[in-house]
């Protein structure tokens, strides 16, 4: 039985069989205590016994932090505080032993940096158990939210021929082993893509948006939770090479309503986590992420401010910041943090100059585009990037020329503007950053089970 099921459904004096890993083991004269967890819940369960038949006495010594065991026993009320019930053990079997001298998590509490050396084991720790259960809840809540809002969930291809964002580095995909250059198909001094799997250069997608637009311009409200891949040469605490990318797209909407979907979604997830991960939040709040409980409540009730890029620049220029942005600049992390501090909450920065944004954004007459970035406090910075899409064929082609975006491979995209074009828009939200926001983890590598980052793919 899963420990979560026992805690929820089993009654005192019922017989139970529980399996899991030993979190701690305390042996006293006639009594032993084990804290056991199987990952199904935050709290685990306490086991106690006085005389248990677990074979010969040498086996007793094998019960060490990290070993896996199965016990049979009876659920009893716990006289001690910390838990309401515990298992009085009748039989204990060691399933997988550990050598305490070799098990990395045996004794000392490790900090997050050190734990990253043990990615395969860290989900057994209380903190990562809490973080990953919250991450799973974000995923469940996301699907629940978009189902309620009547979006279709469809994941487009990840291997693609277009670079979408332009600027965000792409990974090329090949079926060839590139180790020995002499064995590669070369024609006229260049790699001969016709000899590769797809017969042409292909990439891992940096965003599913373009395909999602095509699906939306037929089905309306759609979303994906695909992975996106970016070969940015940065190892900041907010960038990974592979991230979970919630992207939505809808037709006959406006920029304002798009932003409101983003706000509604984030607040929904706040509530969802509060309803489903109370113990996880308490666990993080009490130790590694003090204040996270209040943070979630604060975001749930926050005003999401809206300011145009132009006004944001004016504000920043009148600030006491050391390096102030000029009109036309992208916003640095410092500027993002300044703005969320100034407004004391989340801020949508809207109507960016088209020069520093992507080709597909709907152009306005004044050199800006119908776009927004959502900036979040708590040093998260940009959480969402979104826009209305350019739906005029002529304007799209002209800006593609200007930004040197090749039409080759994007015919499907420009076609959407040729045949029954409709106003539409969408956004992308980094789920891993959202998870940082809701767990208090300050490094994106600590919300991803196996993070992959520049110069770091273990
Ligand atoms: O702002 P971005 O680049 O927008 C797009 O990709 C659009 N095509 C989305 C759309 O309109 N459908 O990325 C969107 C979000 C960012 O705000 C950020 O939260 C996250 O994706 N993100 C990353 N997260 C982790 N690591 C990275 N390297 C990320 N790059 C972007
Ligand atoms: Mg962006």
Using one digit for the tens of pLDDT, what is the confidence trace for 380-399?
999 999 999 999 999 999 99
C-beta 23 within 6 A of ligand 1: no
Strand 347-350 and strand 371-376: the pairing is antiparallel
Please tell me the number of the ligand nearest to residue 211's CA.
1
Distance 380 CA to ligand 1 centre (A): 13
Average pLDDT for 425-436: 98
The protein residue whose alpha carbon is closest to atom 6 in ligand 1 is: 207
What number is the average pLDDT over the span 281-303?
97
Q: How far is CA 453 from the centre of its chain?
A: 14
Q: Is the CB of residue 258 below 6 angstroms from any atom belonging to ligand 1?
A: no
What is the structure's pLDDT at 409? 86
Are 442 and 436 in contact by the 8 Å Cβ rule? The answer is yes
Residues pairing with 347 in the sheet: 305, 375
pLDDT mean across residues, the chain: 94
Q: Which residues surround ligand 2, an ion (CB under 5 A)?
A: 385
Residue 243 Cβ < 6 Å to ligand 1: yes
Could you say which ligand is closest to the alpha carbon of residue 233? Answer: 1
Contacts of residue 454, Cβ cutoff 8 Å, sequence gap at least 6: 231, 232, 233, 234, 235, 239, 241
Q: For residue 54, what pLDDT band results from cuts at 50, 70 and 90?
A: low
pLDDT at site 29: 77
> Would the pTM of this model clear 0.85, i.e. be above it?
yes
Instruction: Find the ligand nearest to 246 CA.
Output: 1
Give the position, in ligand 1's atom list, of the atom nearest the Cα of 247: 12
156 lines ligand 1 (CB under 6 A): no
How many angstroms is it from 240 CA to the middle of ligand 2? 14
pLDDT score, position 58:
66
At 162, is the pLDDT very low, low, confident or very high (cuts 50, 70, 90)? confident
Closest atom of ligand 1 relative to the 384 alpha carbon: 17
- The reported pLDDT for the residue numbered 7 is 94
Q: What is the mean pLDDT of residues 62-76?
A: 94
Give residue 109's Cα distance to chain centre. Answer: 25
Distance CA 246, CA 284 (A): 25
- HSE (CB half, 13 Å, CA atoms) of 159? 9
Ligand 1 pocket, residue 245 CB under 6 Å: yes
């Amino acid at each position: 039985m899963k420990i979560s099921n026992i805690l929820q459904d089993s009654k005192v004096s019922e017989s139970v069989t529980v399996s899991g890993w030993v979190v701690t083991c305390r042996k006293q004269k006639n009594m032993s205590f084990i804290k056991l967890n199987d990952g199904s819940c935050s709290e685990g369960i306490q086991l106690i016994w006085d005389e248990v038949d677990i074979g010969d006495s040498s086996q007793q010594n094998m019960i060490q932090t990290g070993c896996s065991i199965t016990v049979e026993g009876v659920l009893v009320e716990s006289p001690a505080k910390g838990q309401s019930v515990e298992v009085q053990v009748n039989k204990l079997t060691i399933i997988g032993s550990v050598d305490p001298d070799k098990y990395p998590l045996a004794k000392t509490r490790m900090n997050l940096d050190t734990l990253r050396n043990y990615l395969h084991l860290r989900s057994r720790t209380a903190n990562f158990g809490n973080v990953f259960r919250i991450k799973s809840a974000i995923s469940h809540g996301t699907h629940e939210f978009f189902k309620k809002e009547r979006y279709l969930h469809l994941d487009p291809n990840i291997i693609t021929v277009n670079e979408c964002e332009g600027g965000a580095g792409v990974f090329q995909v090949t079926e060839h082993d590139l180790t020995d250059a002499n064995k590669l198909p070369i024609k006229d001094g260049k790699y001969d893509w016709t000899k590769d799997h797809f017969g042409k250069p292909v990439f891992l997608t940096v965003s599913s948006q373009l395909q999602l637009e095509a699906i939306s311009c037929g089905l309306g409200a759609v979303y994906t939770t695909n992975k996106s891949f970016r070969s940015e040469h940065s190892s900041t605490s907010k960038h990974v090479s592979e991230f979970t990318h919630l992207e939505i797209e809808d037709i006959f909407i406006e920029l304002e309503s798009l932003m409101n979907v983003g706000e509604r979604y984030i607040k929904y997830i706040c509530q969802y986590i509060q309803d489903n991960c109370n113990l996880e939040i308490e666990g993080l709040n009490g130790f590694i992420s003090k204040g996270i409980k209040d943070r979630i409540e604060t975001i749930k009730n926050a005003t999401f401010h809206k300011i145009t890029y132009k006004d944001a620049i004016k504000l920043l220029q009148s600030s006491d910041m050391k390096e102030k942005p000029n009109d036309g600049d992208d916003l640095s992390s410092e500027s993002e943090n300044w703005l969320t501090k100034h407004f004391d909450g989340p801020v949508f920065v809207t109507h960016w100059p088209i020069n520093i944004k992507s080709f597909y954004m709907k152009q306005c007459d004044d050199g800006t585009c119908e776009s927004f970035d959502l900036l979040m406090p708590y040093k998260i910075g940009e959480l969402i990037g979104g826009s209305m899409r350019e739906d005029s064929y002529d304007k799209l082609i002209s800006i593609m020329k200007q930004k040197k975006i090749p039409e080759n491979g994007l015919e499907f995209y420009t076609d959407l503007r040729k045949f029954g074009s409709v106003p539409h828009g969408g956004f992308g939200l980094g789920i891993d950053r959202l998870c940082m926001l809701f767990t208090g983890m300050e490094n994106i590598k600590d919300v991803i089970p196996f993070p992959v980052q520049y110069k770091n793919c273990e």
